Structure 1
């Protein structure tokens, strides 16, 4: 067997002959790879690997820093572990819960404390975190038999983690040590705490806000943006989860194993219907002034189904709604603007035929009849199928689309005539106490299933397009979310367990030699922790049917 292996480095197009067993970190050093920020990890044959990973066969490597999504994930996991360690050292016996992303950071709560976190507590925790960072302590990765890891976590009372490992059913499991502290994470950490120079910690409501570096300037922390409405939606759903006794994946798996999934589906769907009815009641109370309901949200948030269910609830209140989707006003593919990377920017406002849309809007409000266009995502062309709309005195327009809250979309309509609704899949279930599930991942999985089933896009195409989608959301959608009159969380407590058998075969089609393979593999590993739930009890009006199929609505 050869004593050396060939390593190709894509960052500088170099090719090296190195000893078998060389680490990824050593390859970067020998190849002289430099990035704008410290190297945090690498894609090795399109698989995410940490810097300690050892190479024994020929590989193609591309190193990344914090500006890469996987680099940022490694940074946040490692920083969360440091927060956990600092809390445990200052307040033994407490439990840290990393809840959700809000205000450009991560909201955390601390259980079993003598009271609410104070400003002095927050300052002390942040100082201890910086002490741990300055010591440059290693994150020690330990791989051993899963049964041993389960015993370790159960001895420490970490049943949220041990039950997940039981469900996964792997022979071996890796966990991390930071000094005397033990952590289980669903991805790699950084080599040591010294990498975590940029962060901040603020008291936020009854808990803490862990602030992270900016992607565009990692030497600075993200600006703290107040998102009161978003926070309240998260808190409301977290309280519901506690009532249903399903706050993490292991509790969801237990519900599925104990035959409680059907009831969970029914209760979750009933909650959705109740919230939509409440919004319809608010609109009805102002029916003399409101002419347009604007429903906005990021990709795959369930805007279309929300608008159709809203229409039903308004009908119950004696209001006759007319639905319009902004997707039908897309310009033809040939005229779609492109972003700075040369990719189609479907999230740009200019991807909408604003002239035609506003012409139709004015004519409808004046009582004229208009023929509504349709857009084919398969051909990228506009077409007409004869659908016409005309508003009467008892009608109200429901307009849904990613730009619905952008004031540039409806500049001629006075604010008092609009009711603005922001929807998104704000995932309220966590992996375990210290690991949240990204709302972005929830929406990406929805989109992968929908695009494959209804739009003839492979997972490779959807994953490739996703960074452009995310950039567009940050630029065109999220800045307006707090302007909404009401927010509606379309995430369903059970949905990831239902999406699992749909998404897995689609993700498996992504080939290892494709750049999108690393993301597909990450999502497949994510699904390993879920016990599938059958969709038979999901009603035909469910938001999830928009992505799975079987909806009683026409899209």
Structure 2
């Protein structure tokens, strides 16, 4: 007789030897929830909340528990009125768009109380595999009309629906087996909604301090207002627009809104002629290069003469580059930049002197001088791009009143449905894979392999400084994932199932299934998206 145990039984045995909470497993390399069975000779690897995969499952499960608590308090409010909007301060910002429910401290306290009671009871999170038609009936029962809309376009016949004491919902991704392991969370009132704060992989047993990010929140709210103008806030609505032939109009309006914002930034810069250094920073695949070109055009329209400067040309000589713990070069460390030379040349430019700007030869690992002479006149302005541009250590000798700082990122405001948001990180990753494959011949496997290292660099060098920006610009386009889908799917399918990146590739392929695909022919040639799919008017 074959010896079988649930993965949860095995996990309880393993938990005695493991510090961090076990929440998922891999069985013969395939990701699995703990309520599944394992056969004796299968290879089982446990996933804890200290990993990215485990943390995502934890956060998803806590969110489900919070929505269950809200349903307990206000059962007559349709699920579509409880909206998970966007990431904020290591958590999720949520709103209840229904006047029948007042979101105040009393309400928050009730939600937290029910959640704590649910944790104490260790209630099972039950997974139901339903036919799509049956699942749609469940969504209709709980007033989740965005999910009804989403699953109109689903090709698969079955849907995983999760239940918590009669409350049911759909989630994109795996869940915890029960609520007993979900004790680390907090909820804070913020603006016209509330933030669900949850742990991160590096500190899985701690709730991070809630630090409101007012500028980031402001640009996210603005993006939501743009979505309202376009009548697009979920993937189902986007798919309806594609099926209904509205995409060309949506593209033109979205691009016009972005151009309007870039022009507004340019006018703000031009209104203060003391600003000589436009410092642009943002994470990978945020569209910094195209943005800097488009901003330069708007600055010219305002009577200024912009000159691009890439901070990467100021790398120190290769032998002076800081090293990682494993002895490899750390090009993302701020001290990989020749800060002294950069400040001296920028100061000389501010004083009206002629300066020869270096060009960094990446093959030889050294700076070269090729006659790139710059001098600033009354209308000249430098547009400087680099990951450290918001960090004052880079520009320590340049007067603050001569700098104008811009933070750019692809801050996705489109959600899968009411309760499943699209990760900004996933959207940037898909952009990066498509661009790397097109411009560098790099495989999706290569991009996925290096992505966590890229993310660590962003956490250290970019995100801590984003609130210091004078303005923020959201480069995300509400339609972009439908465009990127036909480019991303083939390169993801190319990853073999015996490769370490296979599970992540499989997850992204499942995510892209939500979207109807759309061609590139209607994208304007100056669009930020052209930086990734090609065919743009800028030499990128």
The Cα shift of 1:147 comes to: 2.1
For the Cα contact (< 8 Å) 2:25–2:33, is it kept in 1?
Answer: yes
Residue 267 (structure 2) aligned to one of 273, 281, 286: 281
Match of 2:208 among 222, 225, 238: 222
2:49 equivalent to 1:66: yes
Q: CA deviation at 1:417?
A: 0.3
TM-score with structure 2 setting the length:
0.93
**Equivalent residue for 1:41?**
24
Alpha-carbon contact 1:284-1:314 (below 8 Å) kept: yes
Contact 2:278–2:403, Cα closer than 8 Å, also in 1: yes
Separation (CA, whole Å) in 2 of partners of 1:31 and 1:199: 24
**Partner of residue 332, structure 2:** 347
| Structure 2 CA distance for aligned equivalents of residues 454 and 45 of structure 1 | 35
Question: How far apart are the structure 1 equivalents of 2:42 and 2:330?
Answer: 34
Give the corresponding residue for 1:11. Answer: none
> 1:362 deviation in Å?
3.7
For 1:298 and 1:398, the matched residues in 2 are separated by 17
Rounded to whole Å, the distance in 1 between the matches of 2:57 and 2:106 is 29
Match of 1:391 in 2: 375
CA contact (8 A) 1:23 1:53 kept: yes
Mapped pair 1:131 → 2:122: no
Structure 1 CA distance, aligned partners of 2:40 and 2:533? 41
Matches within 5 A, 1:109-128: 109-114=95-100, 116-128=102-114
Aligned pairs for 1:474-485 (under 5 A) are: 474-485=459-470
Once the two structures are superposed, residues 494-536 of structure 1 have per-residue CA deviations (whole angstroms, 9 ceiling, x without a partner) of 1111111111111122221221111111111110101012111
Deviation at 1:44, TM superposition (A): 3.2
Q: Counterpart in 1 of 2:76?
A: 93
Alignment partners' CA distance in 2, 1:428 and 1:387:
44
Give yes or no for the alignment of 1:524 onto 2:518.
no
Q: What SS does structure 1 have at the residue aligned with 2:434?
A: helix
360, 373, 388: which one aligns with 1:403: 388
| Mean Cα deviation higher: 26-35 or 63-72 | 26-35
Hey, what does 2:425 align to over in structure 1?
Answer: 440
Q: Give me the whole-angstrom Cα distance separating, in 1, the residues matched to 2:499 and 2:329.
A: 20
Task: Give distance in 2, aligned partners of 1:241 and 1:355.
Answer: 44
Deviation of the 1:39 alpha carbon: 0.5
* Cα distance in 1, alignment partners of residues 28 and 319 from structure 2: 35
| Match for residue 141 of structure 1 among 116, 124, 127 | 127
Are the equivalent residues in 1 in contact too, given 2:343–2:398 (CA < 8 A)? no
When residues 375 and 246 of structure 1 are mapped into structure 2, their CA distance, relative to the original with a 3 A threshold, is farther
Which residue is 1:492 aligned to? 477
Pair 1:195-2:171 in alignment: no
SS at match of 1:436: coil
Match for residue 89 of structure 2 among 103, 109, 126: 103
Q: CA deviation at 1:409?
A: 0.6
Q: What is the SS of the residue equivalent to 1:197?
A: coil
- How far apart are the structure 2 equivalents of 1:107 and 1:27? 36
| Matched residue SS, 1:40 | strand
**What is the deviation of 1:29?**
5.0
Q: Which residue in the other structure is 2:60 paired with?
A: 77
Q: 1:451 to 1:384 in 2, by over 3 A?
A: farther
* Alpha carbons of structure 1 residues 353 and 502: separation in structure 2 relative to 1, 3 Å: farther
Aligned mates of 2:364, 2:457 — CA distance in 1: 19
Change (3 A) 1:534 1:58: farther
Out of 129, 147, 157, the position equivalent to 2:143 is 157
1:280–1:314 Cα contact (<8 Å) kept:
yes
**How far, CA to CA, are the matches of 1:548 and 1:385 in structure 2?**
33
Over 3 Å counting, the alpha-carbon distance change for 1:314 and 1:490 in structure 2 is same
1:178-218 Cα deviation digits (max 9, x unpaired): 11101100111100011101110111111111010243332
Give the superposition deviation at 1:333.
6.7
> Aligned partners of 2:102, 2:309: CA distance in 1, in Å?
47
Residues 405-455 of structure 1, C-alpha deviation per residue, up to 9 Å, x if partnerless?
110111110100000111111100001111111111111111111122223
Give ranges in structure 1 of 5+ residues lacking alignment: 5-18
Q: 1:24 to 1:346 in 2, by over 3 A?
A: farther
Moved more, 166-175 or 226-235: 166-175
8 A Cα contact 1:175 1:184, kept in partner: yes
Aligned match of 1:205: 191
TM-score under structure 1 length normalisation: 0.91
SS of equivalent residue, structure 1 residue 416: helix
Greater CA deviation, 347-356 or 446-455? 347-356
- Bigger shift: 359-368 or 75-84? 359-368
Following TM superposition, by how much is the alpha carbon of 1:467 offset from its aligned partner in structure 2, in angstroms? 1.4
- Say which of 438, 459, 470 aligns to 2:444: 459
Q: 1:43·1:63 contact (CA, 8 Å) conserved in 2?
A: yes
Matched, 1:512 2:497: yes
1:550 matched to 2:535: yes
Question: Would you say how many aligned residue pairs link Structure 1 and Structure 2?
Answer: 535
Residue aligned with 1:321, SS: strand
Please say if residues 47 and 521 of structure 1, whose CA atoms lie closer than 8 Å, have aligned partners that are also in contact.
Answer: no
**29-38 vs 446-455, which moves further:** 29-38
CA contact (8 A) 2:132 2:157 kept: yes
Task: Point out the more displaced range, 154-163 or 239-248.
Answer: 154-163
> Which moved further from structure 2: 422-431 or 444-453?
444-453
Secondary structure of the equivalent of 1:169? coil
After TM superposition, the structure 1 = structure 2 runs for residues 222-261 of structure 1, keeping only pairs within 5 Å, are 222-261=208-247
Please tell me whether the aligned partners of residues 116 and 207 of structure 1 are also in contact (alpha carbons under 8 angstroms): no
